[in-house]
Amino acid sequence: MSPDYTRSHQQPVNIDDRVLKGDATAQKLENATLKAELGNASWKLLHTMMAKFPDKPTEDDSAALKSYIHLFARLYPCGDCARHFQKILAKYPPQVTSRSSGAAWACHVHNVVNKRLKKPAFDCSKIGDFYDCGCAEDPVPSKGVKVTKDSFTPLTLDDKEGLTRGG
Ligand SMILES: Cc1cc2nc3c(=O)[nH]c(=O)nc-3n(C[C@H](O)[C@H](O)[C@H](O)COP(=O)(O)OP(=O)(O)OC[C@H]3O[C@@H](n4cnc5c(N)ncnc54)[C@H](O)[C@@H]3O)c2cc1C
């Protein structure tokens, strides 16, 4: 008999801060090749997700993205990376009020990791070209959002959410 997945789907998910910011779950990842492959794929996912995030998100969209980022950090399957990234999130809280602020934030925290690993910094002013959101291909544009080929708005760091220590 196959498991009843619908039952667990019906249970409400209440995610509080304790769940979002709890201890990282994974063990240290010793295999350097796996660690690099995982990192590469994960950054691609994160940056592309930002490029596809709504320009004008609803409160729910923003809450979902913020939760996702904290859970991404907590569950990241390289334990030492996860613990470091959680510290980075505590210092630079996710910015989720628009596509451009999210993309700028992700670029910034990736550069923090790059610096720690002695990799060159990425020029975040180029991020809109690099991770093309592909918005022009969307058959159904978001309500109220004017879609053009170059619809990636210029990057700004949102002071309100504080890309600063301890914000
Ligand atoms: C959350 C997280 C934490 C990690 N922590 C660690 C760790 O503690 N120790 C460890 O050894 N590895 C860690 N990694 C893996 C590490 O960041 C790299 O992914 C891995 O070393 C492979 O590096 P890479 O040179 O292929 O480029 P990556 O850093 O994987 O980047 C992939 C591509 O993204 C582009 N890119 C580079 N910087 C940026 C930027 N700032 N913004 C947008 N695009 C950019 C470049 O084209 C680059 O080639 C972590 C990965 C993630 C996702």
Query: In this predicted structure, what is the pLDDT of residue 135?
Result: 67
Per domain, the residue ranges of the chain are 20-150
Burial-class residue 81 by CB neighbours within 10 Å (0-12, 13-18, 19+): buried
Alpha-helical regions (H) of the chain:
5-10, 17-20, 32-52, 59-75, 79-91, 99-116, 127-130
Distance 43 CA to ligand 1 centre (A): 6
Tokens of 157: 């760091």
Element (H, E) at 140: none
Rounded to the nearest angstrom, the distance between the alpha carbon of 110 and the centre of ligand 1 is: 6
Cα distance between residue 86 and residue 80, in whole Å: 10
Length of the chain: 167
What is the 139 CA–ligand 1 centroid distance (Å)? 32
DSSP 141: P
Tell me 131's DSSP state: T
Residue 52 — very low, low, confident or very high, per pLDDT cuts 50/70/90? Answer: very high
Helix axes 79-91, 99-116, angle to 10 degrees: 120
- For residue 121, the CA-to-ligand 1 centroid distance in Å is 10
Q: Is the CB of 127 under 6 A from ligand 1?
A: yes
Nearest to 83 by CA among 108, 122, 113: 113
**Backbone φ/ψ region at 144: left (φ over 0), alpha (ψ -120 to 50), beta:** left
Q: 123 with 112: CB under 8 angstroms?
A: no
Residue with more model confidence, 23 or 11: 23
Nearest ligand 1 atom to the CA of 80 is 8
pLDDT of 36: 97
Dihedral sign computed on CA atoms, order 147, 151, 152, 153: negative
Assign domain 20-150 to its CATH architecture.
Up-down Bundle (1.20)
Residue 75 CB less than 6 A away from ligand 1: no
pLDDT band at 160 (very low <50, low <70, confident <90, very high): very low
Q: Is 34 helix (H, G, I), strand (E, B) or coil?
A: helix
pLDDT at 157 over 80: no
Is 74's C-beta closer than 6 angstroms to any atom of ligand 1? no
pLDDT digits (tens, 9 = 90+) for 4-13: 778 777 778 8
- Contact 114 CB / ligand 1 (< 6 Å): yes
- Which ligand 1 atom minimizes the distance to the CA of 127? 43
pLDDT in tens, 75-117: 999 999 999 999 999 999 999 999 999 999 999 999 999 999 9
- Cα distance between residue 40 and residue 121, in whole Å: 15
- Residue 47 pLDDT > 90: yes
Residue closest to 165 by CA, chosen among 123, 112, 116, 127: 112
Q: Is the pLDDT of residue 20 over 80?
A: yes
